[in-house]
Amino acid sequence: MYQQEAKERWGQMYVADDRFKINIDKHADGTAAFICEAITIYCNK
């Protein structure tokens, strides 16, 4: 379970930390939120 929790927290960091969010959202607005949600769904399968 630790790995899944760690992965999910990593995904949350993409939106919680502006340094990551700004960099990731350079590709398209909302990319960081999309990745965060995708990781959360994957980890909760």
pLDDT tens by residue, 1-45: 668 788 888 889 999 999 999 999 999 999 999 999 999 999 888
pLDDT of the residue at 35: 95
Q: What is the identity of the amino acid at 16?
A: A
Only one residue has tokens 């969010």, namely 21
Which residue, among 27, 38, 23, 22, has the nearest Cα to 10 in the 3D structure?
A: 38
Which residue, among 40, 35, 8, 7, has the nearest Cα to 23 in the 3D structure?
A: 35
Q: Can you spell out the DSSP letters for 1-45?
A: -HHHHHHHHHHHHHHHSHHHHHHHTTSSTTHHHHHHHHHHHHHT-
